[in-house]
Structure 1
Amino acid sequence: MTNKTTLIIGGTSGMGLETAHRIVAQGGHVTLVGSSAAKLDAAKAKLGALADIIRTDLTDTAAVEALIARIETETRHIHGLVNAAGVFAPKPFLEHEAADYDRYMSLNRATFLLTQAVARNMVAHGGGAIVNIGSMWAKQAVRATPSSAYSMAKAGLHALTQHLAMELAPHGIRVNAVSPAVVITPIYGAFIEPEQIEATLTGGFDGFHPIGRVGRPADVAATIQHLLSDNTAWVTGAIWDVDGGVMAGVA
């Protein structure tokens, strides 16, 4: 990724931030999009001169439109896009409210429109690579974490991955996704106290994975980086299970 620019939407923590670290370590440039000014500033401080930051609330239609306009006026080639934004708040189907559903779908809407803007940049400059962070929950239900609306949203992202792979291939744009299982990231802070996330997940879900442990951001970021690189130049439309073996069968 040396001398290439990658836009990471939702890049201030977890898998997105770890991917940014890996890209910068290889001399690539990253632009991180997030909603928290504090997290953006902290990420910038860690990543240094090869990182830019943009504060945007992806659930705010006007803010998304402003970011789209900014992307459309970008003269640099955006070589890579990582769609890493997400929320995860398990709730039984019968208890879901419209606001819960809308929260997930507003992120999908933002992802769709921002990806379209970036793809236009890639078309104008001769190609690129897009990686979406999907989810094992889009493929397999888990009784302990009822997630119907979340799973519906992520299944849509998987479908979008394959459709865009077909449509954008003639423009030299590859589109793939990763499908993680349980990974220790701040996303679980919606229902677990932040300082308890690691202990809760390792204690409750290590055995859920045939490999014997939950994932770390680096486990997934390594695959994202691989899919962005020329090492996977003949890979598009793939949804890679990076899940400790969960989709192979629960231990």
Structure 2
Amino acid sequence: MKNQALIVGGTTGIGKATAELLLKEGVEVIIIGRPNKNLKKSESELAKMGSVKTIALDLSDLASVHEFAKGMAQQMPNLKYLVNAAGYFSPKAFLEHSEADYDKYHDFNKAFFFITQAAAKILKDNQGGSIVNIGSMWGKQAIKATPSSAYSMAKAGLHAFTQHLAMELADYNIRVNAVAPAVVVTPIYAAFIEEDKIEETLQGFNAFHPIGRVGRPADIANTIHFLLTDKSAWVTGAIWDIDGGVMAGRN
């Protein structure tokens, strides 16, 4: 039987790029995505590379999340990998944040928590596996030009979640790591930039990164793939800065 991977938020961007890498090596991929146009489009595109299935799920609907988590063992008995990749980002001043703004970010973590719990039980039964969370540079460092207090609070929590799970699940041969990207060209910016202008707009952040350019989904996916596989068998509890050098310094 093929190993299975669950990617929470894999219809676009980093999650989709990770799915492509896993499909190329024969892993069966299950993708959770919002019920929108990207879901079936991504399934159609990825199906050319291997066995893929998409599941429509609103991560802010906790009842639906719990219902999905209950059925995971039946849907994916050969689960080996989990990637928590879903996200939303829209800078907003702290003094203007509403409760709805706050919930939009933290609902993701609540969904990740219970989906990961269900996944970890399957991985335990399967004698091990690997989990990678997509955190953020903003969870480590504040950037005044992009005020994101609720987003950063959620991502910092995801970093802590990663380290706690690494400790608790190590006895079951389950490794848990995270990546913390800086500016990567993905549709996540569509919340405040017109989708057809994301590429052009983000070029203004090239010089923000010491390496001289913004990131691409493949830059992050390659590291996620490495952390999922046995090539990183002695790595757990790590939050890796995949950020073009931003955390090292500034140009």
Q: TM > 0.5 between the two?
A: yes
- TM-score bracket, shorter-length normalisation: over 0.9
Specify the SS of the correspondent of 1:8.
strand
Given the alignment of the two structures, is residue 69 of structure 1 paired with residue 70 of structure 2, yes or no?
Answer: yes
> Could you tell me which residue of structure 2 aligns to residue 233 of structure 1?
233
> Could you tell me which residue of structure 2 aligns to residue 249 of structure 1?
249
Following TM superposition, where does structure 1 have runs of at least 4 consecutive aligned residues deviating by more than 6 angstroms? none
1:134-149 correspondence to structure 2 within 5 Å: 134-149=135-150
> d(CA) in 1 for partners of 2:36 and 2:122?
26
Specify the SS of the correspondent of 1:225.
helix
Provide, for residues 136-184 of structure 1, a one-character-per-residue CA deviation record: whole Å limited to 9, x for no partner. 0000111110000000000000000000000000000000000000000
Provide, for residues 163-219 of structure 1, a one-character-per-residue CA deviation record: whole Å limited to 9, x for no partner. 0000000000000000000000000000000000010001x2000000000000000
> d(CA) in 2 for partners of 1:75 and 1:220?
25
Do the aligned residues in 1 keep the contact of 2:2 with 2:78 (CA within 8 Å)?
no
> Could you tell me which residue of structure 2 aligns to residue 223 of structure 1?
223
> Could you tell me which residue of structure 2 aligns to residue 98 of structure 1?
99
> Could you tell me which residue of structure 2 aligns to residue 9 of structure 1?
8
CA shift in 2, pair 1:32/1:99, >3 Å: same
CA displacement at 1:122 relative to structure 2: 0.5
What amino acid maps onto 2:82 in structure 1? L
> d(CA) in 2 for partners of 1:134 and 1:75?
25
What amino acid maps onto 2:232 in structure 1? T
Unaligned runs of 5+ in 2: none
CA shift in 2, pair 1:225/1:158, >3 Å: same
> d(CA) in 1 for partners of 2:249 and 2:192?
26
Larger mean CA deviation between 67-76 and 208-217 belongs to 67-76
> Could you tell me which residue of structure 2 aligns to residue 190 of structure 1?
191
Do the aligned residues in 1 keep the contact of 2:184 with 2:214 (CA within 8 Å)?
yes
> d(CA) in 2 for partners of 1:60 and 1:247?
35
Percent identity, aligned pairs only, is 57
Specify the SS of the correspondent of 1:129.
strand
Specify the SS of the correspondent of 1:79.
strand
> d(CA) in 2 for partners of 1:171 and 1:27?
24
Provide, for residues 228-251 of structure 1, a one-character-per-residue CA deviation record: whole Å limited to 9, x for no partner. 011001100000000000000011
> Could you tell me which residue of structure 1 aligns to residue 25 of structure 2?
26
CA displacement at 1:125 relative to structure 2: 1.2
Given the alignment of the two structures, is residue 81 of structure 1 paired with residue 66 of structure 2, yes or no?
Answer: no
Given the alignment of the two structures, is residue 172 of structure 1 paired with residue 156 of structure 2, yes or no?
Answer: no
Q: Cα RMSD (Å) of the superposition?
A: 1.1
CA displacement at 1:75 relative to structure 2: 5.6
CA displacement at 1:54 relative to structure 2: 0.6
TM-score normalised over the length of structure 2: 0.97
> d(CA) in 1 for partners of 2:225 and 2:212?
24
> d(CA) in 1 for partners of 2:53 and 2:70?
17
> Could you tell me which residue of structure 2 aligns to residue 56 of structure 1?
57
CA shift in 2, pair 1:242/1:75, >3 Å: closer
> d(CA) in 1 for partners of 2:8 and 2:155?
15
CA displacement at 1:55 relative to structure 2: 0.5
CA displacement at 1:4 relative to structure 2: 1.8
Unaligned runs of 5+ in 1: none
> Could you tell me which residue of structure 2 aligns to residue 35 of structure 1?
34
> d(CA) in 1 for partners of 2:180 and 2:243?
7
> Could you tell me which residue of structure 2 aligns to residue 44 of structure 1?
43
> d(CA) in 2 for partners of 1:118 and 1:142?
34
CA displacement at 1:43 relative to structure 2: 1.1
TM-score normalised over the length of structure 1: 0.97
> d(CA) in 2 for partners of 1:237 and 1:201?
31
> d(CA) in 2 for partners of 1:27 and 1:73?
20
> d(CA) in 1 for partners of 2:113 and 2:123?
15
> d(CA) in 1 for partners of 2:124 and 2:22?
22
CA displacement at 1:72 relative to structure 2: 3.6
Specify the SS of the correspondent of 1:249.
coil
CA displacement at 1:63 relative to structure 2: 1.3
